[in-house]
Structure 1
Amino acid sequence: MLMENCGLFAAYSKDSRYNVTGRIIEGLLALQHRGQEAAGIAVSDGIKIQTYKGKGVVNSVFNKSISQKIKGYFGIGHVRYSTNGFSNFVNAQPLTVRYKNEFFSIAHNGQIENSAELKKIFEEKGSIFMTTSDTELIPHLLVNNFKKAPSKWESKEVGKVIDKSIGPSYSLLLLFENKIIVLRDAFGYRPLFLCETKNGIYVASEDSAFKIFPLRDANIREIKPGEAVEIKDGIIKSYEINPNKNYKFCFFEQVYFARPDSNVFGENVHLMREKLGELCAKENPIDADIVIPVMDSGFSAALGYSKASGIPLEMGLMRNKYVGRTFIDPDIQERKLGVRRKLSPVKEVIENKRLVLVDDSIVRGTTVKYIVKMLRENGAQEVHIRIASPMVVNTCHWGVDIPDKNDLICSTKSLKEIEVLVNADSIKFISLTNLLNSLGSDGRKYCLHCFQNDWGETSF
């Protein structure tokens, strides 16, 4: 599976006596699917910032005593997958630094494409880097532009400096002793949402993270590309940093990354995936007995495929919900073992059946190969793979750790070769042309780079 980026969550209580640490942890739990390597929080009581982070999933990093010990009425949180930098503790976020006797913290979702160039510039000026994460460039950038204490930095000016200097992909939370600044890049690669209730203000990578809180009369909106939001003294201020309208929303948020109950880029994720499954069924019909989804992200697409084809949907693969998403583990051998840990075939459902196996995408082909092997071991008569997205044929440098092109199975092999490699009776994808036709004018707002060769075409 595809490697993900990160998840952001922030909370601000309008009552300064309330400790938001527990709420930030709950928000990170709701975003756990966006990163399982590390988790962290940084909170402020208006005077000082406290930071706590560690490797692993949220429940392994935090416990009740931590939520009671780390106190503040506003703060930020982060769950991490390493798109840039090694998977180790020092790279866990939020990244908290000290400048002019004040601490400030940063949580970042995205990837700084010009990071190598910026790092060289700062190192020549004498800067020392303590991590291998591109996020560490941001405090160096800010302190080199603002010579006063961080609490006195103007939010709009912070947004302008970052917009001018780094790019193209970032959603940022910056925590200061007196405020939170929220930034989204001008292309809007990653989703980012703002929620205001009677008692608090929240920010999250996906709006589904707000659902754990009472939301009566809540005002929820997507933070605009190129927008800076300041949360200070219980008041929200918005600044237009870059009025760019050439959006590049990552379509893989719709295909795979986001939770099905989220609404990203103006679309409900479950309904979009169901639509993709319907497209796949109409473009790639097959005579079969049952449709089986690869759980969990393939379920909505499989439902759409079943509806459009008239072939009944069955749960031929059961998912162990206590095992993390296999793509999260950076170690490829561990990821192979993770397929068998995560998915269990139901022999009584699949035996002697012609199966349509529906999944959201194929990147390396490692996962689907082992799934087909398990299905055949349990008596599947035929296995026809249907992928509810176009072929992934190109890398991504904007917040998703897609491997080198040589590691992408669809970039290096023909459909026939892939069928042989994964031992499938057939394998079909949605064509990029069909996808664009279905999206209509909305297709212009999406980044589809990973589906296109360097000359702008797919390798069908």
Structure 2
Amino acid sequence: MLMENCGLFAAYSKENKYNVSGRIIEGLLALQHRGQESAGIALSDGSKITTYKGKGVVNRVFTKDVARKINGYFGIGHVRYSINGFSNYINAQPLSVKYKGEFFSIAHNGQIENGNKLKEEYEEKGSIFMTTSDTELIPHLLVNNLKGVPSSWESSNIGKLIDQNIGPSYSLLLLFKNKIIAFRDSYGYRPLALCETKNGIYVASEDSAFKFFPTKDATIREINPGELIEIKDGKVKSYFINSSNKHKYCFFEHVYFARPDSNIFDENVHLMREKLGALCAQENPVEADIVVPVMDSGFSAALGYSKASNIPLEMGLMRNKYVGRTFIDPDVEERKMGVRRKLSPVKEVIENKRIILVDDSIVRGTTMKHIVKMLRENGAKQVHLRIASPKVVNTCHWGVDIPTQEELICATKSIDEIKDLLNADSIEFVSLEKLKEFLNSKKQEYCFKCFQGGN
């Protein structure tokens, strides 16, 4: 089954006063960093659901002509990033299905851990799957266990079914003709936030997606692990489906996936990354002339490294803002080509300098190898790599693009081998022990599986 890390956004107009399609599009644009393969919207006018989706980034899918034609006063949206490379239209979300004469729609961020087992069980019973996405398991689960038309299903029963049968990780949006449901798994792997204003109710993977409209008098909070939110008749109702498990927040959200201006797991992402950079400087000092961030992902960490080391921060690499994130490009060769399109060295800044090059993480090492090469081609005297997270040595089973262990540079090579392969003068990481010491008691709430060896 297909594993995904994606972006979710929902909007509900109180008292049915306005078309929310434009607001969902704006929300998805704010979450574009979470997926660039496809985008989609499902909208309800209270009597029927309309779905529109396509391959590509949000602006490419939702042109002005398209945006004018889709209407509804509440709905859900999705931007998708597949992990196993099945990039095609049929896997685009929201996934809309028809049952007993009614459509309902689902948008999912994460991975269903027991997806393969469940699919085999349903196929043995005669179920047919139209996509390769594990999200499709959820409508099969619901229609096989709930009676009546979808709009009559009790929200708490939906939550209990999913909690008891679907393995994490998931943050979910479900759209029925009469309501929206938002549900976060009991471990809280993936972030999900709720915003209520005078005129509307919104849900998003990250609270930074709420910033496109005034939030002065808004109530914004994280949806708790195991909490289901029902938005119906202009009101929000909360159900705690399962709140007994320990939290397992994905620390890689802090390291890479989330926007710096987001607040996830009760922490501001930019400030967390700055602290990680400072931690790296304390643990891995080196004599150098300037600190250079890998833009944009390494900027916050580089700022923290610079402050802690008293070595000046310089913009030795400029980013082309019109090029997407190379890490989430599913095609490896395209990812390699994208490095030079994305980053441009500033020779006047880096020439004859000893450089500390700071980034948030290294997964395959493909991108970093080309960045070091560009710095040396432009006269860098030394290039010392400092990574503001622990070594990624294990695959992720919960919806982040960390590939097979053989592809992970830190899982297969020693520090000296990595240094030589990347042509760096030195390379150091934040140790997992130092990270846990820094997090103190909160370390119990995080998942560090990608930083730990074994299966």
TM bucket by the smaller chain? Answer: over 0.9
Q: 1:331, CA displacement in angstroms?
A: 1.1
1:321/1:342 contact within 8 Å kept: yes
Q: 1:135, CA displacement in angstroms?
A: 0.4
Residues 289-335 of structure 1: per-residue CA shift (max 9 Å, x gap): 00000001100000000000010000000000000001222111110
Give 1:109-258 correspondences, 5 Å limit: 109-258=109-258
Partner Cα separation in structure 1 for residue 70 and residue 50 of structure 2: 6
2:36/2:80 contact within 8 Å kept: yes
Quote the residue 1:378 is aligned against. 378
Aligned length: 453
Q: Secondary structure at the match of 2:16?
A: coil
Q: 1:213, CA displacement in angstroms?
A: 0.8
1:4/1:34 contact within 8 Å kept: no
> Do residues 291 (structure 1) and 291 (structure 2) align?
yes
Quote the residue 1:10 is aligned against. 10
Partner Cα separation in structure 2 for residue 394 and residue 111 of structure 1: 16
TM-score normalised by L of structure 2:
0.98
Give 1:425-444 correspondences, 5 Å limit: 425-444=425-444
Residues 150-208 of structure 1: per-residue CA shift (max 9 Å, x gap): 00000000000000001110000000000001110000000000000000000000000
1:360/1:387 contact within 8 Å kept: yes
Q: Secondary structure at the match of 2:253?
A: helix
TM-score normalised by L of structure 1:
0.97
1:97/1:139 contact within 8 Å kept: yes
Partner Cα separation in structure 2 for residue 401 and residue 253 of structure 1: 12
Give the AA of the match of 2:34: R
Q: 1:245, CA displacement in angstroms?
A: 4.0
Residues 392-440 of structure 1: per-residue CA shift (max 9 Å, x gap): 0001000112111111000000000000000000000000110000000
Q: 1:85, CA displacement in angstroms?
A: 6.7
2:328/2:401 contact within 8 Å kept: no
Give the AA of the match of 2:241: I
Give 1:337-416 correspondences, 5 Å limit: 337-416=337-416
Partner Cα separation in structure 2 for residue 132 and residue 382 of structure 1: 47
Give the AA of the match of 1:395: T
Partner Cα separation in structure 1 for residue 328 and residue 305 of structure 2: 27
Quote the residue 2:103 is aligned against. 103
Partner Cα separation in structure 2 for residue 14 and residue 195 of structure 1: 13
Quote the residue 2:20 is aligned against. 20
Q: 1:454, CA displacement in angstroms?
A: 1.6
Q: 1:45, CA displacement in angstroms?
A: 0.2
1:350/1:378 contact within 8 Å kept: yes
Q: Secondary structure at the match of 2:276?
A: helix
2:4/2:110 contact within 8 Å kept: no
Q: 1:216, CA displacement in angstroms?
A: 2.3
> Do residues 62 (structure 1) and 45 (structure 2) align?
no
Q: Secondary structure at the match of 1:307?
A: helix
Structure 1: unaligned runs, 5 residues or longer: 456-460
Partner Cα separation in structure 2 for residue 136 and residue 84 of structure 1: 16
Quote the residue 1:458 is aligned against. none
Give the AA of the match of 2:174: L
Which aligned segments of 4 or more residues in structure 1 are displaced greater than 3 angstroms?
A: none
Give the AA of the match of 2:109: N
Structure 2: unaligned runs, 5 residues or longer: none
Q: Secondary structure at the match of 1:15?
A: helix
* 3-12 or 192-201, which deviates more: 3-12
User: Quick one: structure 1 residues 15 and 67, their matched pair in 2 at CA, closer, same or farther if it must change by over 3 Å?
Assistant: farther
Partner Cα separation in structure 1 for residue 362 and residue 215 of structure 2: 37
Q: 1:4, CA displacement in angstroms?
A: 7.1
Quote the residue 2:327 is aligned against. 327
Give the AA of the match of 1:131: T
Q: Secondary structure at the match of 1:168?
A: coil
Partner Cα separation in structure 2 for residue 300 and residue 245 of structure 1: 32
Partner Cα separation in structure 1 for residue 57 and residue 413 of structure 2: 35
RMSD: 1.0
1:363/1:392 contact within 8 Å kept: yes
Q: 1:16, CA displacement in angstroms?
A: 1.1
Residues 363-384 of structure 1: per-residue CA shift (max 9 Å, x gap): 0110000000000000000000
2:151/2:178 contact within 8 Å kept: yes
User: Quick one: structure 1 residues 285 and 85, their matched pair in 2 at CA, closer, same or farther if it must change by over 3 Å?
Assistant: closer
1:40/1:92 contact within 8 Å kept: yes
1:271/1:300 contact within 8 Å kept: yes
1:21/1:43 contact within 8 Å kept: yes
Q: Secondary structure at the match of 2:41?
A: strand
Give the AA of the match of 1:210: F
Partner Cα separation in structure 2 for residue 327 and residue 362 of structure 1: 10
1:37/1:328 contact within 8 Å kept: no
